Amino acid sequence: MTLETLAIKVIEAAESSGVEFMVVGAVAAGAYGVPRSTGDVDLLVSVSVEGGVAAVMAKLEPIVACDAQVVFDTLTWGRRHVGRSRSAPPFKVELFEMFDDPFVQSEFARRQQVFLPVLGRATWLPTPEDVIVQKLRWGRSKDLDDARDVLAVQGLDSLDMAYIEKWCALHGTRERLQAALAGIPPL
């Protein structure tokens, strides 16, 4: 199974479970920036439907082995469920539960349906601005590269830079934003 096929199956599982969700991580960043190799599919899933995350996991069970133990994100302490595809090569699937973080709430409220050519279908994604803010917040090397690439591909004139700067100020990531902006190659 390819990562793209797995991503479609994960999206379909979320849709058929009746939960609100959005694709996050490298897939979302690649939709707005420069696609890169990744070994996982990440979804942020609303918990407004009781048992929604469990329903998604149950639908994925034939193709994804989910860990019984819930993992807590060390940055925000949000809950996530981690699984591995049962086919080779094994890809990771992470289902992040919605939680009370103000940025995550804002990001989810602003999500939009976007057609992803790599998947041949539309799905829910964060806005480009929210991808940038989240990637700067996570701060790993690949996340900082993703943030820079989304800034470069989308162009500063088309982005709501005041929104990005507001969240970076709140998260203490203004220096990361400045470094990402300085890293955009000239045209």
Same domain, 115 and 162: no
Does residue 91 contact residue 40 with C-beta atoms inside 8 Å? yes
Domain boundary among 81, 108, 126: 126
As to burial, measured by CB atoms within 10 angstroms (0-12 exposed, 13-18 middle, 19+ buried), residue 89 is exposed
Domain boundary among 110, 126, 142: 126
Same domain, 121 and 181: no
30-86 confidence digits (pLDDT tens): 999 998 889 999 999 988 777 788 899 999 999 999 887 777 766 666 788 999 999
Same domain, 138 and 115: no
37 is written with which tokens? Answer: 């190799």
Same domain, 133 and 120: no
Domain boundary among 126, 146, 176: 126
Return the closest-CA partner of residue 103 out of 73, 70, 131, 123: 131
The CATH number assigned to the domain holding 54 equals 3.30.460.40
Question: Domain total for the chain?
Answer: 2
Tell me the average pLDDT of the chain: 92
Same domain, 15 and 92: yes
Same domain, 90 and 2: yes
CA 185 to chain CA centroid, Å, is 25
Q: Is the pTM of this model over 0.85?
A: yes
Which of 5-19, 69-83, 171-185 is predicted with the least confidence, judged by mean pLDDT? 69-83
Same domain, 114 and 54: yes
Same domain, 90 and 44: yes
Same domain, 121 and 134: no
Place of tokens 């996340």: 143
- Does the pLDDT value for residue 92 go beyond 80? yes
Same domain, 41 and 107: yes
**Domain with 162 in it:** 127-187
**How would residue 178 be classed by pLDDT, with cut points 50, 70 and 90?**
very high
Task: Read off the pLDDT of each residue in 140-145 and give the average, rounded to a whole number.
Answer: 96
Buried b (16+ CB within 10 A) or exposed e, 50-84: eebbebbbebbeebbebeeeeeeeeeeebbbbbbb
- Torsion, Cα 175 178 183 186, to 10 degrees, reads -170
Does residue 149 contact residue 34 with C-beta atoms inside 8 Å? yes
Peptide bond before residue 89 is cis, with ω within 30 degrees of 0: yes
Same domain, 147 and 57: no
pLDDT the model gives residue 169: 98
Task: Read off the pLDDT of each residue in 91-117 and give the average, rounded to a whole number.
Answer: 94
Same domain, 12 and 88: yes
